[in-house]
Amino acid sequence: MSYQDVMDQKKSIMRNALRLDYDQFEGPGIGFDYEKMMASSGYSLEDVVRIQEENNVGNTPMIELKRLSQYARKFAKPGYGARIFLKDESTNLSGSFKARRAAMSIYQAKKLGYKGVIAATSGNYGAAVAALAARAGLKCIIVQECYDSNGVGQPEIIEKARACQAYGAEVVQLSVGPELFYEFLVLLKETGYFNASLYSPYGVMGIETLGYEIATEILKKEGKYPEAVICTNAGGGNLTGTARGLIKAGAVDTKIIAASVDLSGLHMASDHDFNLKSFTTGHTGFGIPFSTFPDRSDVPRSAARPLRYMDYYGLVNQGSVFFITEALAILEGMERGPAGNTSLALAFSLAQEMKQDEILVVQETEYTGAGKHMNAQISFASERGIDLVMGNPLEEKPGKNLIFPASGKMLKHKEIPLDTLRISYLKHYQDQMLFHEDYFYLAEELNTTVEHIKTLMEASHETKNR
């Protein structure tokens, strides 16, 4: 059970923990049949809806944020300032949209006869898996990256561990580093439990109902589909599942916008940098690498592939997320956590660039309280020596300061050009001979044309050879 021994057994351990043969999806070159993998579960959208309803998951409220929309219009030119809607996922069992994913993973584990489930997560998914496992009568282990080498843990992560334990799960808390995946594999091998992965087809198809609900509810309320939906992007499953659900409902022209917190310069696997971020969710430390290399996950082929669906990627700073968290509470009477408020901060900025009759949907909220509350997170930052200042949020230096917008007028975002992400993705293949089928796969994978893929590959080679 040495580190290398376990890594050498990785493929067989993961196959036994899901009973899903990923080899059947592989193509002759670099590609694989993504849609075949997604369909392999045998569940229809109607099946997913039924399973979630049986577990108090889904059918969450759609709320128009009229006062926040009005506030955004103060800073927009005449005729601009889109209507902002919010899908209140905090009303799900366990308090986040992750219950949609967990409901399907737990159902599959129970169906296949597993005695327990394991998930590797520091976030809301752990609480969701623990809650749904409790309902199903299954054992549950959550493996959590919790502390730095000095034993200091972020208040948000500690709160999530508390939630997992409240639902009866065993929580294995580790310090930051590569041991997380190793310990996860060891536990899968020793227990024979089901891998309740965020990145399996079951985990992603559980979110399709979220996109489907958004499309059908807005169509019923407003007589049209939303112009855009904003998804907080980390591992990519949130955006992928939401986009697939929108498409299944017929909202094929709705723009899919990714939102992340800009933590440029901080490395999430660094013991030093780990506690210099002020909250743990929806940041570029996961959003960028999982977009540009999705198969870095705990399954052979990730079902979360955001670049297949993404139309725009916007970044906001931490201070803006805290600002909009307070604005949501004061203007709308809703106190929610940072995950959905990352998208809400971007929505506030983007709404000012859209016309007043256009609809912009923020597709999630999460519960807040204890360590997930902004006061605990800001206090933790201050204790780490982070400067707290008012000013221009675009000047924030992650790990050095938190800059809160002096007013809503100053809350702005930055765009990541999608071609920048595509080039980063293609670097994995720049030393590989690609065939006709490979280019078609990459065009689907990166939501573009074969001709554009070839142009980007040339740009990638030129960059390398400079």
Share of the chain above pLDDT 70, in %: 99
The pLDDT of residue 61 is above 80: yes
Tokens of 26: 């592989």
Residue-wise pLDDT tens digits, 338-390: 999 999 999 999 999 999 999 999 999 999 999 999 999 999 999 999 999 99
Residue 462 pLDDT > 80? no
Map residue 373 onto helix, strand or coil.
Answer: coil
pLDDT above 70: residue 433: yes
pLDDT of residue 271: 87
**Distances in whole angstroms, Cα of residue 115 to Cα of each of 13, 59, 110:** 16, 29, 8
pLDDT of res. 465:
63
% of the chain at pLDDT higher than 90: 88
Q: What is the pLDDT of residue 3?
A: 87
pLDDT of residue 464: 65
pLDDT digits (tens, 9 = 90+) for 163-208: 999 999 999 999 887 788 899 999 999 999 999 999 999 999 999 9
On whether the 3-40+99-198 domain is CATH 3.40.50.1100, my answer is yes
CA angle, 139 then 141 then 144, to 5°: 165
**CATH domain 51-95+202-415 topology:** Rossmann fold (3.40.50)
Query: If 0-12 CB within 10 Å is exposed, 13-18 middle and 19+ buried, where does residue 113 land?
Result: exposed
Q: Do 309 and 256 form a contact (C-beta atoms < 8 A)?
A: yes
Residue 463 has pLDDT above 90, yes or no: no
pLDDT surpasses 90 at 461 = no
Confidence (pTM): 0.96
Across the range 250-273, mean pLDDT stands at: 93
- Alpha-helix residue ranges (DSSP H) falling in 113-200: 124-136, 155-166, 179-191
Q: Beta strand pairing status for 414-415 and 312-316?
A: antiparallel
DSSP secondary structure code for residue 82 in this structure: P
At 321 the three-state DSSP class reads: helix
Domain with CATH 3.40.50.1100 in the chain: 3-40+99-198, 51-95+202-415
d(CA 346, CA 343): 5
Supply the pLDDT for residue 164.
95
d(CA 244, CA 434): 28
Better-predicted residue by pLDDT, 431 or 443 = 443
Q: Are 365 and 87 contacting, i.e. CB atoms less than 8 angstroms apart?
A: yes
Strand partners, 362: 86, 230
pLDDT band of 326, cuts 50, 70, 90 = very high
Cα 411 from Cα 382, distance rounded (Å)? 22
Mean of the per-residue pLDDT values for the chain? 95
Report the pLDDT averaged over residues 388-405: 96
Write down the pLDDT at residue 447: 98
SS3 390: strand
Q: How confident is the model at residue 466 (pLDDT cuts 50, 70, 90)?
A: low
Average pLDDT of 304-328? 98
Mean pLDDT of 398-416: 96
Q: Output the pLDDT for position 395.
A: 96
Residue 357 is encoded by which pair of tokens? 């009759």
